[in-house]
């Protein structure tokens, strides 16, 4: 069984490629959070995968919440993590290993794959050619991870001081709620409601056909800002927005 979280599609794509066959379930943890049903029966000998993006050298708050509540029932064999990131996985594997251990689960393997960065709030505009190149280069890496999972390969759970420090310092510093009052839509918004339906934290309500950010619990997943009509003050005006091309 694969549990994933994805704001803009990279991690969803990885989860789909990692699926060993049609019978393996892929579970969106945003839906798990919505339904608040955290108990999952796992078949004997099955592998349990966690797939998510790196946020601020750590893992998204929604994944942390999932790990803190999930109840894996049954005789599963192996737990693995796959992180997608834009070049710096930092302390995300360490954070996952530590949180799982607190719950009595053992992380057997941690893998990561570099993909295009979706973080449009800082830095320069993404280069489409560079994005395509990263996507192409990620494919063999993802397939190699799939083979490693199939052969139940374990990876050493030793973490550098740098990764621990980044998980302890950078993550709590950056991973705070983003004040949602700065979000608005410009005149390109057609009121389709996709942003509201996709928001994993249900921050957005459609009021008179217009999205309004009413709940102050945004985790900056970039799921809504994939749409060019969505603005955040002046920060992302005219910025190129990223989403994985199949999404």
Task: Verify binding: residue 88, ligand FMN, rule CB under 6 A.
Answer: yes
Task: Verify binding: residue 78, ligand FMN, rule CB under 6 A.
Answer: no
Task: Verify binding: residue 90, ligand FMN, rule CB under 6 A.
Answer: yes
Task: Verify binding: residue 115, ligand FMN, rule CB under 6 A.
Answer: yes
Please answer whether residues 96 and 50 qualify as being in contact, where contact means their C-beta atoms are separated by less than 8 angstroms: yes
Task: Verify binding: residue 195, ligand FMN, rule CB under 6 A.
Answer: no
- Which range binds ligand FMN by CB under 6 A, 33-41, 83-91, 146-154, 194-202? 83-91
If you write DSSP's letter for every residue of the chain in order, what string do you get? -EEE--SSSHHHHHHHHH--STTS-EEEHHHHHHHT--EEEE-TT-EEEEEEE-BTTB--HHHHHHHHH-EEEE---EEEEEEEESS--TTHHHHHHHHHHHTT----EEEEEE------SSSSPPPHHHHHHHHHHHHHHHHHHHHHHHTT--------HHHHHHHHHHHHHH-S-B-GGGEEE-TT-----HHHHH-TT--EEEETTEEEE--S-B----TGGGSTTEEETTTTTTPPP---TT-
Task: Verify binding: residue 200, ligand FMN, rule CB under 6 A.
Answer: no
Task: Verify binding: residue 84, ligand FMN, rule CB under 6 A.
Answer: yes
**Around Cβ 136, how many Cβ atoms within 10 Å?**
9
Task: Verify binding: residue 96, ligand FMN, rule CB under 6 A.
Answer: no
Whose Cβ is closer to ligand FMN: residue 46's or residue 218's?
Answer: 218
CB 78, min distance to ligand FMN, A:
23
Tell me which residues in 139-168 interact with ligand FMN (CB under 6 A): none
Among 41, 87, 123, 140, binds ligand FMN (CB under 6 A): 87
Tell me which residues in 2-21 interact with ligand FMN (CB under 6 A): 6-11
Tell me which residues in 204-243 interact with ligand FMN (CB under 6 A): 220-222
Task: Verify binding: residue 29, ligand FMN, rule CB under 6 A.
Answer: no
Structure tokens at 71: 């109840």
Report how far residue 149's alpha carbon sits from residue 165's, in angstroms, rounded to the nearest whole number: 28
Whose Cβ is closer to ligand FMN: residue 185's or residue 223's?
Answer: 223
Whose Cβ is closer to ligand FMN: residue 14's or residue 46's?
Answer: 14
Determine the size of the site formed for ligand FMN (CB under 6 A).
25
Contact residues for ligand FMN, defined by CB under 6 A: 6-11, 53-57, 84-88, 90, 115, 117-119, 220-222, 244
């Amino acid at each position: 069984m694969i549990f994933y979280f994805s704001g803009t599609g990279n991690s969803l794509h990885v989860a789909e490629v990692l699926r060993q066959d049609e019978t393996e379930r892929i579970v969106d943890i945003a839906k798990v959070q919505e339904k608040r049903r955290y108990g999952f029966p796992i078949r004997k000998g099955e592998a349990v995968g966690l797939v998510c993006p790196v946020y601020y050298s750590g893992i998204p708050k929604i994944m942390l919440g999932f790990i803190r509540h999930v109840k894996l029932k049954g005789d599963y064999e192996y737990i693995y993590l796959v992180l997608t990131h834009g070049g710096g996985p930092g302390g995300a594997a360490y954070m996952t290993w530590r949180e799982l251990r607190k719950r009595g689960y053992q992380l057997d393997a941690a893998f990561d794959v570099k993909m295009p960065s979706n973080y449009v709030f800082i830095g320069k505009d993404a280069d489409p050619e560079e994005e395509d190149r990263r996507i192409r280069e990620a494919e063999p890496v993802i397939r190699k991870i799939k083979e490693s999972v199939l052969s139940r390969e374990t990876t050493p759970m030793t973490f550098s001081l740098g990764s621990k420090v980044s998980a302890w310092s950078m993550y709590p510093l950056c991973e705070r709620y983003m004040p949602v009052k700065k979000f608005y839509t410009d005149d390109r918004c057609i009121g389709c409601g996709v942003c509201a339906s996709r928001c994993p934290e249900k921050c957005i309500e459609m009021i008179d056909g217009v999205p309004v950010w009413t709940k102050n619990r945004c985790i900056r997943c970039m799921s809504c800002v994939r749409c060019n009509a969505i603005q955040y003050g002046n920060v992302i005006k005219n910025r190129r927005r990223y989403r994985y091309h199949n999404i």
